[in-house]
Homo-oligomer: A and B are copies of this chain.
Amino acid sequence: MDRSRLEAFSDGVFAVAITLLALNLAVTGPGHGSLLDKLGRQWPAFVAYGISFFTIGIIWVNHHALVRNIAVVDRTLLFVNLLLLLFVVAIPFGTATMADYLTAGGQDARVATALYAAILEGMSLGFLAIFEWTLRDGRTFQPVPRAARWAMRGRFYVGQVPYLIAFVVAFISPPVSVAIIGLVAVYYVFERTPSTPGSRPGTAPGPAPGGAADTGSYGSDGGPDQPRA
């Protein structure tokens, strides 16, 4: 199993999951009220679509920033990666459930939003597990220096907090919980992580919805990356 295989399969799963998100936008056919009313009533579906689309997009960006630095692929990594994908694939389900029940109010809205936050937190933990896997010596082309490990770990663990907060807040105010999840996506889209000291810009991943990565700006020759000494 070489790294490119891992990337190709993960890319495929990300691409299908992100596209399935739009299935929940579907409106029923003519005959039960005006189309404008129907579209208006399902505004949560549109909001949920935007949030989940960029959340999956960010995790895709960060996944590759992290994976491209990996020098050796073992079975543990493959299954940790599957754990991440298990939650990514569940995002369209969580998104649809949240969107369907957000305006229902009461306990149902709380449960649906908590479920959504829980799936995103699961995804975030899966990403954290891949990050932890990369820390062992010899697994990456460009290891995080020992001195910087705890600082970086700190950023990844702090990155778990927003979804945990969103999960708790879901039981108090579902709309606020969704707003938090949306703000996390906005934050990571605009974030510009400074590079880790001693690392080549663009290869040091930082925290995100599971670790935002600074992919920097560097040539893309489409060829294989060479190990760097």
Residues of chain A at the chain B interface (Cβ within 8 Å)? 1-5, 7-9, 11-23, 25-27, 29-30, 34-36, 39, 49-50, 53-54, 57, 60-61, 64-65, 68, 70-75, 78-79, 82, 85-86, 89-90, 92-93, 96-97, 100-101, 104, 107-108, 111-112, 115, 189, 192, 202, 214-227
**Number of copies of chain A assembled together:** 4
CB-defined contacts of A57 to chain B, threshold 8 Å: 78-79, 82, 85
Q: What are the residues of chain B within 8 A of A27 when measuring CB–CB?
A: 97, 100
Could you tell me if A16 and B14 are in contact, using CB atoms closer than 8 angstroms? no
Tell me if A9 and B11 are in contact (CB < 8 A): yes
Query: What's the nearest-Cβ distance from chain B to residue A98, in Å?
Result: 10
Query: Binding site of A, secondary structure by majority: helix, strand, loop or mixed?
Result: helix
Q: Which residues of B contact A21 (CB under 8 A)?
A: 89
Task: Report yes or no: A115 in contact with B12, Cβ–Cβ below 8 A.
Answer: no
Question: In the complex, what residue of chain B is closest to A50 when comparing beta carbons?
Answer: B86
**27 A-B contacts, Cβ less than 8 Å apart?**
A1-B68, A2-B221, A2-B225, A9-B15, A12-B14, A12-B15, A13-B18, A16-B19, A16-B20, A19-B89, A26-B93, A26-B97, A27-B97, A29-B101, A34-B108, A35-B101, A35-B111, A49-B90, A50-B86, A53-B86, A57-B82, A72-B219, A73-B218, A73-B220, A78-B215, A79-B189, A222-B224
